[in-house]
């Protein structure tokens, strides 16, 4: 089977699984259901995914709207990265699927481990965009990436739960903080800090960020 056919089969499996998970939930969807809905042979499904947890994580990762390629070291612009994550977080279907993954992980050590690994990759991907450089991100960029990911996760949970949220206002605030990471360095209590960290603290206190 050619690489393209394998990719097409894998995509068909993910699309079928996504529809089933959204309709029935993870617990009420079996691998046999996924095989039948995808129209892909059982052997091919098993070659693409070791088990249902692997399918669950692949569906969840695709719901982020981000393709993580370990061989791709080119960082994307930070605002573009955030827009990508927010687009997924504010999509009801994608958010519902992600919330199901987190809920299922409470009773699955394997799934918890897979989620932790994905979280590391998401933060690393975002931190490299903050640093605007390939390779290992700086500790400061890692901290900022964690802050952004936690904020986006909160939006995802509210959307999945049907809780009203001003997604556009949150988007503007988060993008403003992201843009401030490109500001000039300012003196802080522990030495020199980037403007973005000052902006985060000031917004938390209800103030306006410093501008230069």
Q: What residues have CB less than 8 Å from 86, skipping those under 6 apart?
A: 152, 155, 167, 170, 171, 174
Question: Would you say domain 1-49 falls under CATH 1.10.10.60?
Answer: yes
Label residue 200 by pLDDT band (50, 70, 90).
Answer: very low
Residue 138: how many other CB atoms lie within 10 Å: 14
Q: What residues have CB less than 8 Å from 202, skipping those under 6 apart?
A: 208, 209, 210
Label residue 178 by pLDDT band (50, 70, 90).
Answer: confident
Report the alpha-carbon distance of residue 112 to residue 35 in Å, rounded: 25
pLDDT of residue 191: 34
The pLDDT of residue 62 is above 80: no
Q: List the beta strands (DSSP E) in 57-169.
A: none
- The tens digit of pLDDT for each residue in 124-165 reads 888 888 888 878 889 999 999 999 999 999 998 999 888 888
């Amino acid at each position: 089977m050619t690489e393209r056919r394998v990719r097409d089969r894998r995509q068909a499996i993910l699309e079928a699984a996504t529809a089933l998970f959204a309709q029935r939930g993870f617990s009420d969807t079996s691998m046999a259901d996924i095989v039948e809905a995808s129209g892909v042979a059982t052997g091919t499904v098993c070659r693409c995914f070791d088990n249902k947890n692997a399918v669950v994580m692949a569906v969840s990762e695709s719901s982020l709207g981000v393709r993580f390629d370990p061989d791709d070291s080119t960082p994307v612009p930070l605002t573009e990265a955030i827009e990508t994550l927010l687009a997924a977080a504010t999509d009801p279907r994608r958010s519902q699927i992600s919330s199901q993954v987190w809920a299922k992980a409470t009773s699955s050590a394997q799934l918890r481990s897979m989620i932790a690994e994905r979280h590391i990759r998401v933060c690393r991907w975002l931190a490299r965009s903050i640093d605007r450089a390939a390779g290992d991100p700086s500790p400061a960029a890692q901290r900022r990436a964690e802050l952004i990911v936690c904020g986006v996760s909160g939006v995802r949970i509210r959307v999945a739960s049907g809780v009203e949220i001003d997604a556009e206002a949150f988007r503007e605030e988060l993008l403003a903080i992201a843009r401030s990471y490109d500001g000039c360095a300012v003196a802080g209590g522990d030495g020199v800090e980037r403007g973005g960290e000052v902006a985060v603290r000031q917004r938390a206190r209800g103030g306006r960020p410093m501008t230069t």
